[in-house]
Amino acid sequence: MRWLLRVPRARQARSSLETTLGSSANSRIAFVTNGTVEADAAARRLSSRYGFHPLESCDVVVALGGDGLMLQTLHRVMPLDTPVYGMNFGSVGFMMNAFSEDDLERRLQSVQRTRIYPLSMEVLDTSGKAETALALNEVSLFRSTYQAAKIQIIVDGETRLEELICDGALLSTPAGSTAYNLSAHGPILPIEAPLLALTPISPFRPRRWRGAILSNRAVVKFITREAAKRPVSAVADNVEFQNVLEVTVREDRSRGVTLLFDPGTSLEERVLSEQFRY
């Protein structure tokens, strides 16, 4: 991920998203790219045309890349609560808008907003070390060797699955339900649904267990069995921890991020349309 650098301007008081992007005044924009030659060149042209502001004082971030860049950018701006408008320079672009250098200010003033919330992952590894990370898409557990993982699944303090023998398991947000969760044959969740998807990855026993749909208030704990013999890693989006013993996951509503979409192409609409693809 590449951030365009400019000499910082004097810090200005931030106005609200509604006031700034809904008014006729120009928005203060920061541009971020995926580092390709094409995206970098486009960002330079856009900066020259619409101006550039540092991340710390901008009203909106325009991300030029694919879904991977969007995910990285959302994590980067989460503490600042700055909205992100993506334009596709990647391969899939499920969370991106179509690229155009024209009428960017007008597009930003007419956007549809989607607010999403992360999962908080707490990890205890086999050495007793504790770690934490956030995931906007999913928290995943994976076997680290040729041997299948053995995982106990506890929901709200009650054991729901004594032993899942598998390649892994994941807990997905609605926003992430069309990503790896869908590839693992998990359910697609409406963006605004107060739900989480718990999905096994290549389950061996019980072979026919397809997972579960849980309340977003649920606290899910994964306990790895025979951890020394069957090592497991845990991943929150792009942050990975090795040799995990316990992983506890819950939704964190104290923080979130805002994605911006052109009218008629909201994330809600994209997730709905994905359910009718064949």
Q: Which of 68, 66, 106, 112 is nearest to 86 (CA)?
A: 66
Q: Confirm whether residue 42 is marked as ligand binding.
A: no
Taking the mean position of all CA atoms in its chain, how far away is CA 269?
A: 17
Q: Confirm whether residue 98 is marked as ligand binding.
A: no
Q: Confirm whether residue 236 is marked as ligand binding.
A: no
Q: Which of 39, 107, 25 is nearest to 73 (CA)?
A: 39
Number of H helices, E strands in the chain: 6, 18
Q: Which of 191, 170, 183 is nearest to 256 (CA)?
A: 191
Q: Confirm whether residue 131 is marked as ligand binding.
A: no
Q: Confirm whether residue 246 is marked as ligand binding.
A: no
Give dist(CA 142, CA 194) in Å, integer. Answer: 26
Peptide bond into 187 cis (omega under 30): no
Known active-site residue 59: no
Q: Confirm whether residue 167 is marked as ligand binding.
A: yes
Q: Which of 59, 67, 125, 237 is catalytic?
A: 67
Strand 60-65 to strand 29-33: parallel, antiparallel, or no bridges (unpaired)? Answer: parallel
Q: Confirm whether residue 67 is marked as ligand binding.
A: yes
Give dist(CA 237, CA 137) in Å, integer. Answer: 6
Q: Confirm whether residue 168 is marked as ligand binding.
A: no
Q: Confirm whether residue 177 is marked as ligand binding.
A: no
Q: Confirm whether residue 50 is marked as ligand binding.
A: no
| Cross-sheet strand order for the sheet of 138-143 | 212-215, 195-201, 168-172, 138-143, 232-236, 239-241
Q: Confirm whether residue 192 is marked as ligand binding.
A: no
Q: Which of 101, 83, 86, 93 is nearest to 20 (CA)?
A: 83
Q: Confirm whether residue 15 is marked as ligand binding.
A: no
Annotated binding residues for NAD(+): 67-68, 137-138, 167, 175, 178-183
Active site members: 67
Provide the annotated binding site: 67-68, 137-138, 167, 175, 178-183
